[in-house]
Structure 1
């Protein structure tokens, strides 16, 4: 009898240990924001916590959890492995969960019951603005960028998965900012261009004052392949290079004001006319033709300017600002790519021109 009792107590203790080590926290919004509640035991109905059909992101610790879209563990159920799930949209469970329970270590499910393996947080630093130049990526804390040859060199950043804390000195000291997931084309706006020396991942449950955050980033799509994800090649149908918006170029010109005067050659007019004529000629020409057009512009401008004031009038000058739009130069900002997969048209923006195909998953989402 004592042996049976001891065995039963051992089994009970093991079950309690499993439940104690397994913990799940549900959040009201994506990226672990909003209200939250934490559970270590079965929750047959989220209404007890005022959380029915409200969960949008999840943190699972210790062991896997089964979550279901109906109360009492019914309806569609999936198993979440330990990890951080910034959004439940990819598994079509956003704002739909109604019950959850920890999974025993001896419980086995078909692989199709498991949610996609959560992706680790990743941050990639680039040497130049606009995600250009050398780069290095990390999924773990870096106490000193010197080991990567990147100390005080980062000028733009892409953050995937979760938040990171980036600091200007080694060992996470000095000025530090919290980077949300997204694309930061330059670090100048936060006073950290070419100044970063360390970075570390931020725990999903950590909370900071708004002043600790960097400016809101441009959304970034996570292209990384998920574990055991089946991939396909989709044909690209069109590619358009997109340049930055035209910039406004302004300059100051000397404007002539006519006044009465004796009829004689205008030396000052000849000088001004020559300069303006030279500028116009230079804009028109190119190569050797540019030099020729410049000289011709000077001669013609000087002739016109010299005749100003020979009709009984004189001229004075004043500064006038002129502005004109100039087309963007250099490399495109991005490429707008259209591709078709299983009869559906998709669009994606890339930082380099694509090949004839785009790698996609079963849903047609692009993957690296």
Structure 2
């Protein structure tokens, strides 16, 4: 059987794999698009698996996914517990990735109320693994105004570290981050992926409040997976 070289899209490493209709390796599933004539392959790796259950403590009907799901009620009448078998996800108590957010990693979550959610889980987002540098700039005012500070590590208290009482915009340049409402990684959470966020108050409105202020930030490291 011929062999192809494949580059993992999540970690950049190159592996030698046998050609077939599909390849499973490194805890993820690769979709094999290998051309045996050129020994080249295009592959995507799906990392992570989460199972949602209608009732608390993993009872009732279930739905399993490895990707983003904007509307879980398309598959279950409700969702009151979940089990993460691999990877990391954000779960939300409103559809379309809105409402209260909660970060989940490998483990069991038997009751949505213990996650600080006001309603059952209604949507979820897969968080890709990032290996490399982390970099984010935070700004005192909207549209990247006011004082600016650049982060490449966790920040337990923005107020103590930078003497900033508010952060109204940010630019996530590298890596995936979690924002927390209170110092020392407590309180409500918000998942931040690479991109420009010009108005944090508008974002917090998607959480059901325009008064959420974030005071600590943490990197989602590959050790979480």
State whether TM-score is above 0.5: no
> Higher strand share goes to which structure?
2
> Higher helix share goes to which structure?
1
Q: Normalising by structure 1, report the TM-score.
A: 0.27
